[in-house]
Amino acid sequence: MTRDRELDIVLFGATGFTGALTAQHLARHAPEGLRWALAGRNEARLAEVRAGLGGEHAGLPLLNADVTDPASLAALAERTSVVITTVGPFLEHGEPVVRACADAGTDYLDLTGEPEFVDRMYVAHHATAVRTGARLVHAGGFDSVPHDLGVLHLVRELERTGPVTEPLTVRGVVRSGAALSGGTFQSALGQFARPRQLAEASRARRAAEPRLEHRSSRAVKGRPGRDPELGYWLVPLPTIDPMIVARSGAALPAYGPRFRYSHFAGTRTLRYAVGGAALVGGLAAAAQLRPLREALGRRLPQGAGPSEGRREKSWFTVDLLGETAGRRVHTRVSGGDPGYTETAKMLGEAALSLAFDDNPPSAGQVTTGQAVGDRLLERLQRAGMRFDVVS
């Protein structure tokens, strides 16, 4: 953590839908004396966001920064301890911000769910961030905090009866009643359209990443079917979440000598499970054809979001079932609107944890579990997210 900077946190992309919600969370819940600012390329729109935070924030600094202007990003990163960015899709717009933060030794936080972007940033900027002390934290929203910290919470619960010294297997089952995020949809379409590049980025990361010695941690593809404990029909989810969870498992010895995680969507009926699988397959196929991809993208554009009333009715749960050496535990993470309200909460609290909490030393590209895991768990529970032990 860089304590000698002019600012504690800068929110880049504050004029977007999720960016504005993150600004609102910080304005309502930040500690007294927080030094923060809004950043973007349109000062008039930034001023509108600031005005919506209330008169007590009338003096909040507005900083000019643009992903096409590296000098503006370098100046931004050098002024602050933490940069939150919501400017996506990240394959198109993300790397200049990562580079500026890695070079300046500034902590970086985003909400991307794009595996190719995360792998490419590891290869390009992890070593620089290790040298400068920057923590590069991707997937700091619904992708992938509930799953990442949910498994950490499960491991901490197992530790109540003794350390994890035998192989640990965990399956995560996510359910939600919420509108799909425009940013998530655009990122998914873009990633579905790039299977070859995705595979290349993954291979490049594996070649650059040190191998674990005497331990292993992997995401494994689960089989569809009916979960005998939860009673849900399970559909494997092709998201970034299992990769993030497995990387936390690799970084944290508490996960034991052999950790395996599988990730599913859960539905109450077989009909919905089959329909969900068909929908994902259809989107993946349509994304290969540019006219279809662009037509789908226009249906839910980047920066769009549901009304406050719709968000208030939204919810999510993530059930996590773990087993090791005869010990079994079932935990659950739950909250409100996942893609917007809760994502803004997760981003805001993760940034505050990076800026102020006494976290274990880390640098380079790190997960939320590795960088701020236990402290962020505490923060999110205080902020209203639930991390419960079911059995």
Q: What does DSSP say about strands 107-110 and 216-219: parallel, antiparallel, or unpaired?
A: unpaired
Residue 153: CB partners within 8 Å, gap ≥ 6? 320, 331, 333, 377, 387
* Angle, alpha carbons 319-325-328 (nearest 5°): 25
Q: Tell me yes or no: is domain 7-142+342-382 CATH 3.30.479.30.
A: no
Token readout for 96 is 């200049």
3-state secondary structure (DSSP) of residue 179: coil
Domain ranges of the chain: 7-142+342-382, 145-337+385-389
Q: How far apart (Å, rounded) are the C-alpha atoms in residues 314 and 176?
A: 8
Type of residue at 163: P
Cα separation, 333 vs 316, whole angstroms: 8
- H-type alpha helices, the chain: 17-29, 43-51, 70-79, 90-93, 95-104, 115-132, 145-158, 182-192, 195-208, 241-251, 270-286, 290-299, 308-312, 343-356, 368-382
* CA dist., res. 185 & res. 99, Å (int): 25
Report phi then psi at 2, rounded to 5. Answer: -95, 105
Rounded Cα–Cα distance for residues 20 and 25 (Å): 9
C-alpha–C-alpha distance, residues 70 and 270, integer Å: 50
DSSP reduced 3-state for 323 = strand
Contact present, 287 and 193 (Cβ < 8 Å): yes
- Pair 164, 158: CB distance under 8 Å: yes
Residue 273 CA to chain centroid, in angstroms? Answer: 25
> Would you say 8 and 81 are in contact if contact means Cβ atoms under 8 Å apart?
yes
Place of tokens 């006494």: 358
Q: Which two tokens stand for residue 35?
A: 């030094």
Residue 300 Rama label (left phi>0; alpha psi -120 to 50; beta) = beta
Yes or no: say if 153 and 387 are a contact pair by the CB < 8 Å rule.
yes
pLDDT, tens only, 283-299:
666 667 677 666 666 66
Q: What is the pTM for the complete model shown?
A: 0.93
| 170 three-class SS | strand
Strand-pair category, 168-177 with 315-324: antiparallel
Using CA atoms, how far residue 204 sits from 89, 97, 119, 248, 274, in Å, is 21, 21, 8, 19, 34
Which pLDDT value is given to residue 294? 62
Residues of the chain predicted below pLDDT 70: 1-3, 179-191, 271-287, 289, 292-304
Q: Measured between alpha carbons, how far is 237 from 281 in angstroms, rounded to an integer?
A: 11
* Token pair recorded at residue 129: 């961030």
> DSSP alpha helices (H): ranges in 1-114?
17-29, 43-51, 70-79, 90-93, 95-104
Q: Would you give the DSSP letter of residue 24?
A: H
CA distance 258 to 205: 21
Read off the tokens for 16: 């977007």
Tens of pLDDT along 12-66? 999 999 999 999 999 999 899 999 999 999 999 999 999 999 999 999 999 999 9
Nearest Cα residue to 105 out of 331, 325, 363, 310? 363
- Measured CA angle at 243 (ends 191, 210), to 5 deg: 110
Cα–Cα distance, 239 to 148 (Å, whole number) = 13
